[in-house]
């Protein structure tokens, strides 16, 4: 099994080849999920009985927040693989995920503010959920800043891995903040899969949009990882062959 993973994913050369085959499938999956989620969410899902059509921002806000947390979890796992097994591909995944995660977190905060203004009467409040998501954004910024000031690649990967692992403690705080503290933010809905607090006509497009955002992250991740692999391995023969075929 380990040999199979090394042949297809772990080594930089193998990952570059495998990602080429995966990208068309991921792009197709993103397109289908996004199209269904967007159309069903905007035109077929019924208006909320309290918020009216204003609730439809949920189809951007919730997927962006979910993806932001998922990306940091990927970074933490990649950090463990980097520290324990010194996997170059994991270090690259961790490094390029940070800026993507920062943008998704920023989008979650902005859409949350837009949603919060008519619902709460204010753009921002130091609510437990909002504050912990803001901390997540600062963690992404801190990771990016840390890696930018360390010149040595190996030291940069090690320091980034430690920070990603330490910062992962914020994820359960974000998730359980609406349970542990009395907040303005609504309680959990999707986590109660046995009895979700949302109608199926609203839930299915939301799940599709979450999947679309995750597929979009995967596509951008692979594209950026491929660029980083080329930059790191620019002097190797296999990269020279790839570049010659591309040109």
Residue indicated by tokens 């997540």:
136
* pTM to 2 decimal places: 0.90
Residue 199 backbone zone (phi > 0: left; psi -120 to 50: alpha; other: beta): beta
Angle at 57 between CA 51 and CA 63, to 5 degrees: 130
For the chain, how many helices (H) and strands (E)?
9, 0
Six-digit token pair at 237? 């023969």
Q: Which residues contact 38 (CB under 8 A, 6 or more apart)?
A: 59, 205, 209
pLDDT tens digits along 177-236: 766 655 655 655 655 555 556 888 999 999 999 999 999 999 999 999 999 999 988 888
pLDDT tens digits along 13-55: 999 999 999 999 999 999 999 999 999 999 999 888 778 888 8
């Amino acid at each position: 099994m380990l040999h199979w993973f090394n042949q297809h994913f772990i080594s930089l050369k193998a990952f570059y080849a495998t990602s080429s085959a995966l990208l068309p499938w991921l792009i197709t999956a993103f397109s289908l999920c996004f199209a269904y989620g967007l159309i069903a969410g905007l035109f077929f899902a019924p208006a909320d009985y309290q918020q009216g059509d204003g609730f439809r921002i949920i189809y951007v806000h919730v997927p962006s927040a979910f993806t932001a947390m998922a990306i940091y979890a990927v970074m933490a796992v990649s950090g463990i693989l980097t520290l324990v097994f010194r996997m170059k591909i994991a270090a690259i995944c961790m490094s390029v995920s940070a800026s993507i995660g920062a943008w998704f977190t920023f989008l979650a905060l902005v859409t949350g503010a837009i949603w919060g203004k008519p619902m709460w009467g204010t753009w921002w409040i130091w609510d437990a959920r909002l504050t912990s998501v803001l901390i997540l954004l600062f963690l992404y910024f801190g990771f990016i800043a840390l890696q930018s000031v360390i010149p040595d690649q190996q030291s940069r990967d090690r320091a980034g891995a430690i920070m990603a692992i330490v910062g992962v403690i914020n994820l359960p705080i974000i998730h359980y903040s609406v349970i542990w503290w009395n907040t303005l933010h609504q309680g959990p809905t999707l986590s109660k899969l046995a009895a979700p607090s949302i109608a199926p006509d609203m839930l299915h497009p939301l799940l599709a949009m979450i999947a679309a955002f995750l597929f979009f992250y995967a596509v951008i991740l692979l594209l950026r990882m491929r660029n980083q692999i080329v930059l790191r391995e620019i002097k190797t023969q296999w990269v020279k062959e790839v570049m010659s075929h591309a040109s």
